[in-house]
Structure 1
């Protein structure tokens, strides 16, 4: 969700000087002014959270592009096998119990202590369970090294309580500055670890230890920022709301794991490590935006939507604006990647990774739909309807798993075709539940993404046409030419077709809100 605090969609045809302040706008829509300083606080939260994520990913990808040239596809295949087991247990890590503190009207030290206790018990149990499961996972995949990897990766669970709880407390107050700093430092630590170990020939262990170091650094950073934390309270009397909400989120997380990891789990037993590594790395590359940039934006959207809902305000203008912004940004990125996959892979990863170019191109085509589906969740959760998230997660788990069971018989491209079928169906199912909650009609939603559709269509025609007449230049030169042409065409379509969108976005970045922020810019709680 990007800049969901921006002004309502029906002002998009006006010159920016004619538009009113965000807080006044929300008041017109909901019968009263938005919470004091809401726009300023959300703007600051998004700037820190999204900005830090961009910087963190630049750091991570700078390291990744070096590491991937030092390691082999089989290393990434082994790592993907271990990740399936890790993810299969992670749905029980209790993050939903911590997030329940964000959604509640008020919280006290006892609430915080109960969430802390749940997190500690669950994650210590998960670390032990992964150690016990490790030999059986290695036997399933036929790769003995997977057992040792899983033993070490159990350390990740020990950091979870010290990330989830302080992050939830800071997010509740829309306080993302310290989280952003911790995230950037953690990214640097993980990137340095991965690069150093890959350089010195540790192979797949570079991929194993890098996230452990990054998680540990992040845990230390956010814990210090939210200090002091309440002591764990193992008596759960009065924690019914927390357990109910957290349980629903845990169930959704389990279903999400099934949906997102079933392809690797199914293919891991059939594909060779090399082939699995190609598919896994292609999936990783194409999930960069949806998996790395959108979840942090949802972290801001959830507490902000919660605040609006508790104040009795409509989510419609912010929801539509988020849809339009995400479509405009993710559409050209993914369609551009699909059009230039061979050049991009040869330039960034090297010639040995070229066999994954068709996989990348195929996956990139459906990722814009994935992006639009992901940003629906905060609206339903913030309005106290986690059951909708359960329904959509269950549908997605059944849909994707069924598709992968069929597609795996046809190799990596069979899995890609399963994505082509499942992604649009899941988006349609999710919107059917989400749009009424957000107070948005189907036609309004379609109009919000129409500029991105037209822009991407024009860009595709131009890039394909240019690609047929370009000389056989080296991959970096072709990528530069095709990328520049595609970007220019897309920008021209948006500028001349929807110039007000550009004005609107630029004005929101530069303009100060008319209303003054609350003292300290914090939400009131009973935590003290």
Structure 2
């Protein structure tokens, strides 16, 4: 049995000072983002070795299974558990109810995936897909033991203990991936590594949170959990339609090798948005929930988040677009050079997508998950329609579809969310400008330099080092000359000093 221990009470307390809460949020960001960066270094160290040992067709087969896995995973009940974060208070019985929901849903999903795997294999015309999916059903059985302790520790903004478990899981996954690839397991390498990570996290988080509880299957009185979770669930469903529809459409039209190039290009381009922004949103959600009654604090914190994140995301994506060719040749080898045109298009679109996903934690924390649901619904219509049209010009046409759909979705999201947050489209654009404008100028300069360096016949690793160094120097110089205030704000965040701005509310939450 679990009691509502002191570590899970703090988030809703009213007696915590704004300064103490701001400090707690910054520590949470440092632990969550810092551990994520270190975990990604570990994972990518392994990935760079594994990707040289496997073939694009292996990644193509794996991408086909991920569409099925993702469409089932939206029902895994994580949204029901997240309702515990948004609530002002939580009692032990509600925790047991949430655990019961998680166990039932994920056992059902594991069974559906196991027995339905042949249908997916028939759609793709790849018998191997059925075998892969049946083993991957084990991922669902680990989910309840990850979701509940992670949500409860996030509620208390306790990301330190999560960080240690996540690093251990990254080591387990990286070691499994490298060992399987060297042993010649082929596509199974991509299946066993996530299983090792998931189950390591499941055991580790359950132990460090001390949250091994008896589930309750008495769901009377859990209307708030179901109501909030249902809105989040539908948001996730629409998001999955948006994010997986390109692979679903392409999987039946193009061969596994070509699809593997496209899928890995998308994975590489999305690394910042998919790996580093969600951990920040995990901190942002409970932080916004804590200050949800202070409209000025919510508005100021949101715009600050957009401004600082764009200062990092814009140069990353613009730089990725112009150094894609030497980077792919250096890191992955010449057999992966077919990814380059896809990466360049994805990178430009993902600048806008990175900002778009910052809205959901705010609107959810303010008790309006329906807004996130409607924005996700818009994406579920815009992206598949764009992909279907783009597919007429091949996979490159589908990559171009990202550049059409991404800005449209950002505008729709901002129009729906801005009134609740208290901002306008112009406020969001102004928050993005300090990072975006210098990044675009930097990309032009590095692009012209890249053409000159390539004409010199230098090796790809040398080109990559020179271009990255030039881009960093040029972007830093442009920030110093044109956006010195924004640069100072980012420096203050890094060294953990509170900005002394006259218009900032007392709660420096995000």
- The answer to whether the superposition gives a TM-score over 0.5 is yes
Shorter-chain TM-score tier: over 0.9
Contact 2:315 2:436 in 1 (8 A): no
CA offsets per residue over residues 403-444 of structure 1, 9 Å max, x none? Answer: 111112221111111101100000000011222222123322
User: Structure 1 regions of 5+ residues with no counterpart?
Assistant: 1-31, 515-528
Q: Aligned equivalents of 1:33 and 1:86: distance in 2?
A: 42
- 1:491 counterpart = 2:473: no
Cα offset, 1:313, TM superposition: 5.7
Q: Is contact 1:70–1:198 with CA below 8 Å preserved after alignment?
A: yes
Change (3 A) 1:448 1:512: closer
> After superposition, what is the alpha-carbon deviation per residue over 1:46-90, rounded to whole angstroms, capped at 9, x for unaligned?
010000000011111111110000000000000001111111100
CA deviation profile, 1:276-311 (whole Å, cap 9, x unmatched): 100000010001000111011100000000001146
For 1:513 and 1:346, locate their aligned partners in 2 and report how far apart those are by CA, in whole Å. 42
Mapping for residues 121-136 of structure 1, pairs under 5 Å: 121-136=104-119
Q: TM-score, normalised by structure 1?
A: 0.89
Q: Cα distance, 1:513 vs. partner?
A: 6.4
CA–CA distance in 2 between the matches of 1:467 and 1:513?
39
Q: CA deviation at 1:507?
A: 2.5
CA gap of 1:144–1:157, structure 2 versus 1, over 3 A, is same
**1:505 corresponds to which residue?**
490
Matched, 1:324 2:314: no
How many correspondences in the alignment? 483
Is 1:162 paired with 2:145?
Answer: yes
Aligned to 2:447: 464
Moved over 4 A (4+): 310-313, 511-514
CA contact (8 A) 2:325 2:340 kept: yes
Residues 149 and 211, structure 2, Cα contact 8 Å, conserved in 1: no
Residue 413 (structure 2) pairs with residue 407 (structure 1)? no
Match of 2:459 in 1: 474
Q: Choose between structure 1 and 2 for higher RCO, CA contacts under 8 A separated by at least 6 residues.
A: 1
Listed as ranges, the matches of 1:127-526 within 5 Å are 127-310=110-293, 314-470=297-453, 471-511=456-496
Contact 2:434 2:486 in 1 (8 A): no
1:314 aligned counterpart, secondary structure: helix
Partner of 2:27 in structure 1?
Answer: 44
Give distance in 1, aligned partners of 2:36 and 2:187.
25
Which whole-Å CA distance do the structure 2 matches of 1:429 and 1:249 have between them? 18
The 3 A distance-change label for structure 1 pair 33 and 101 is closer
| 1:200-252: CA deviation from partner (whole Å, max 9, x where unpaired) | 10000000000000000011111112113432111111100110001111111
- CA displacement at 1:506 relative to structure 2: 2.3
User: What is the alpha-carbon distance in structure 2 between the residues aligned to residue 372 and residue 34 of structure 1?
Assistant: 30
**Is the contact between residue 279 and residue 412 of structure 1 (CA under 8 Å) also seen in structure 2?**
yes
Determine if contact 1:35/1:308 at 8 Å carries over to the other structure: no
1:101, 1:168 within 8 Å by CA — same for their partners in 2?
Answer: yes
| Structure 2, gaps ≥5 residues long | 1-14, 500-510
Q: CA RMSD in A?
A: 1.5
User: 1:310/1:238 Cα in 2 relative to 1: closer, same or farther (>3 Å)?
Assistant: farther
Normalized against structure 2, the TM-score is what? 0.92
Give distance in 2, aligned partners of 1:378 and 1:121: 26
